[in-house]
Structure 1
Amino acid sequence: MIGLGLVYALAGAMFLGFAVVTLLSRRDARRWATALLWGLVSVSFLLGDVIGDTGNGIVAIAIVVVAASGRTLAKHQAADESVAARTVMAMRFGNRLFLPALLIPLAALGGTLLFKAVPGIVQASNATLISLALGAVLAALLCMIWFRPGPAAPLKAGVRLMDGMGWAALMPQMLASLGVVYAASGMGEAVGHILGYVPTGGNLFAQVAIYCVGMALLTALMGNALAAFPVMFAAIGVPLLISAQGGNPAAVAAIGMLAGFCGTLMTPMAANFNLVPAALLNLRDPYGVIWAQMPTAVVMLGANILLLYFLGFPS
């Protein structure tokens, strides 16, 4: 039965290819550190089960050290003739160029339905993720057959894209790990203990405001509302808003999560949302997306506080 091991193997092989292409195709001094970075990421995917928790922790620390050294991911522009060739190809094929990109979500949807309807082929719990990975492979094969580039073209294009995104490309994986660490360390109880010193006098509005603002701030620190939610829900949501104040659990959970997403709009830690687009669009201000989103995030945070206060508790 196909499991997540296939996805990890594909991702590891991709990053290993990035490391090799970086060493062979670039001539700047930073290629060694950049290749080391992608090589370490490939180790985490390919050998994660073999090296164990301690080994993975060492690899994660090494990745952070190399990425923070400032010696990696120097952007480089494609040659003028390459840009000209891509422009000619874009004019030639037109909107048909979107077909490989559309194949990925179609394969993810079709594979999910197929593998859940026909058990025994793919682990049902991971059918969507595995189908997504297979869709990416099919899209790459379609491009290779259709456009007939050199065999290393996908890896070279991937390296160019990853150089454009920089270290931010690794943030989702790191933040997911951070959320697991926080949950396992009992951070929810610690936060609840600290917030217990905040004098609210049992005032419902004050407790709702602390819960929502705390969700936004913790999300801004962690970069991930899904990781911040169990901490704040355990610290304030359950003991104060639900148990003590009689709040609707569904409303407390759902609106609390929305408040956390307001923090997502205001933090560079949510790099895949806020820093990657700025890098890909070559914005002069890397935090331009955050500055543009911040007024909306503040207004929505206030709206969520009012929604939870007026709708989350029986009159």
Structure 2
Amino acid sequence: MITYEWLYILAGSFFAVWSLLSLRDTANNKRLGNAAFWGLLAASFLFGSHLPDFGNGLLVLAMVGIAGAGGLGRSNPETTSLEERFNFSALLGNKLFLPALIVPVTAVAGTLLYNYTPLGDTGLFEERRETLILFGVGVVFALAAAMVWLKAPVMAPAEEGRRLLDSIGWAAILPQMLAALGAVFALAGVGDVIGSLAGQIIPDGSVLLTVIVFALGMALFTMIMGNAFAAFPVMAAAIGIPLLVEGYGGNPAVIGAVGMLAGFCGTLMTPMAANFNIVPAALLELKDQNGVIKQQIGTAIPLWVCNVAIIYVAGFLLWN
């Protein structure tokens, strides 16, 4: 059986390669910091499931220490030149994006085939992990297809990946860190406090207002914490489960899925989501570091309104 652990091993292997390449990069005066940081992240993926919580905590603290001390630096590995990239772009155009489409197609089509054909009876994938595992399989397929199609050197994916990863730096692991922070907040009872306050403010029986407060809380907490995965445990414990699901009998699948989308609207509007909004501005060398956010606000607000409508209609009116 292919389990979730296989994805950890796959990701950890890539980070281990980038760590070794960083260690060999004598042109980068911060190569030791880069190698240590990505090496620790590789260790967390490869061995984290087998380490106690205290051991994983030490890995995280060590990574924070390296990043906080300024131990990370951008590398400049030998990859394709700017001229070669322009030539590829002129020759292939939008076809260059075809390998990227392999990933979602593999995940969606593979999940449907596995769940609605006799393949599901084989027990090939860990239960309820099929889509995530197939997503990883799609990444491998896409990488192989790109290598064969573009006839790239064997080390091209590793070196290009290292170049991009070093350009992003510590922000590359910000989603995982913030998601863990959300779990800590939930365990600390923050959701219960917010839920009690919301219960005092929201009139009994007001489903629409409760939906609005839930979606608004998802967006606002995401803007504060930088990630919808961090906001979800708090808002689910505060309003989503006790009020919308248990109190008003809403559809938990709709409330959970679309509630996350409402949180992602907050992601589009906050500099706290540095890996999405600040890092791209830096990589594109924009004069305004908030330029990406300003362009996204016009999409985020109408999308949030649509999410509220979807939760209310599909989660309650059509469900009940």
Bin of the TM-score, shorter chain as denominator length: 0.7 to 0.9
Q: Which residue of 1 aligns with 2:9?
A: 9
Q: Report the alpha carbon displacement of residue 162 of structure 1 after superposing the two structures with TM.
A: 1.1
For 1:305 and 1:92, the matched residues in 2 are separated by 44
| 1:208, distance to aligned residue in structure 2 (A) | 7.6
Percent identity, please. 44
Deviation by residue 1:82-102 (Cα, 9 ceiling, x = unmatched): 222333344444454333222
Instruction: Specify the alignment match of 1:86 in structure 2.
Output: 85
Q: Hey, what does 2:40 align to over in structure 1?
A: 40
> Which has the larger Rg?
1
Deviation sequence 1:253-281 (CA, Å, 0-9, x none): 47865654443222233334323432443
The 1:60–1:109 alpha-carbon spacing in structure 2 relative to 1, beyond 3 Å, is: same
8 Å CA contact retained: 2:250, 2:316: no
- With normalisation by structure 2, the TM-score equals 0.77
Q: How many residues align?
A: 309
Structure 2 letter corresponding to 1:52: P
Amino acid at match of 2:99: P
Could you tell me which of 160, 165, 168 is aligned with 1:165? 168
The reply on whether 1:101 has 2:100 as its aligned counterpart is yes
Change (3 A) 1:288 1:70: farther
Q: Answer with 97-106 or 51-60: which moved more.
A: 97-106
CA RMSD of aligned residues (A): 3.8
**Matched-pair contact (CA < 8 Å) for 2:174–2:275:** yes
1:85-136 Cα deviation digits (max 9, x unpaired): 3333444444543332222223223332343331322224111111121221
Q: Give the SS at the match of 1:125.
A: coil
Amino acid paired to 1:275: I
SS of aligned partner of 2:129:
helix
Does residue 189 in structure 1 map to residue 188 in structure 2? no
Are 1:115 and 2:114 counterparts? yes
Question: Which residue type is aligned with residue 225 of structure 2?
Answer: M
Distance 2:151 2:245 in 1: 60
1:2-35 Cα offsets, whole Å, 9 max, x none, are 1111111110010011111122235121121111
Q: Cα deviation per residue 1:228-261 (whole Å; 9 max; x = unaligned)?
A: 2442344356667888xx8674599478656544
CA pair 253-137 structure 1, distance change in 2 beyond 3 A: closer
Q: CA deviation at 1:156?
A: 0.2
What is the letter of the counterpart of residue 70 of structure 2? G
Q: Counterpart of 1:122 in structure 2: which amino acid?
A: F
Q: Is 1:218 equivalent to 2:217 in the alignment? A: no
Alignment partner of 2:148 out of 145, 148, 153: 145
Going from structure 1 to structure 2, the CA distance change for 1:103 and 1:262 (only over 3 Å counts) comes to closer
What's the CA shift string for 1:160-210, capped at 9, x where partnerless? 1112322222122222222222223322113345x37x9859597998876
Distance 2:45 2:95 in 1: 34
- Cα distance change of structure 1 residues 59 and 240 upon mapping to structure 2, 3 Å threshold: same
CA distance in structure 1 between the aligned counterparts of 2:184 and 2:35, rounded to whole angstroms: 28
Partners of 2:241 and 2:202 lie apart in 1 by: 18
Matched, 1:174 2:177: yes
Matched-pair contact (CA < 8 Å) for 1:168–1:275: no
Within-5 A mapping of 1:226-237 = 226-236=229-239
SS at match of 1:47: helix
Where do 5+ consecutive residues of structure 2 fail to align?
none
Q: Which residue of the partner structure matches residue 18 of structure 1?
A: 18
2:281 matched to 1:278? yes
Alpha-carbon distance between aligned partners in 1 of 2:309 and 2:113, rounded to the nearest angstrom: 44
Q: Distance in 1 between matches of 2:93 and 2:202?
A: 64
Q: Give the TM-score of the pair, scaled to structure 1.
A: 0.78
Paired with 1:45 and 1:30, the residues of 2 have a C-alpha distance of: 23
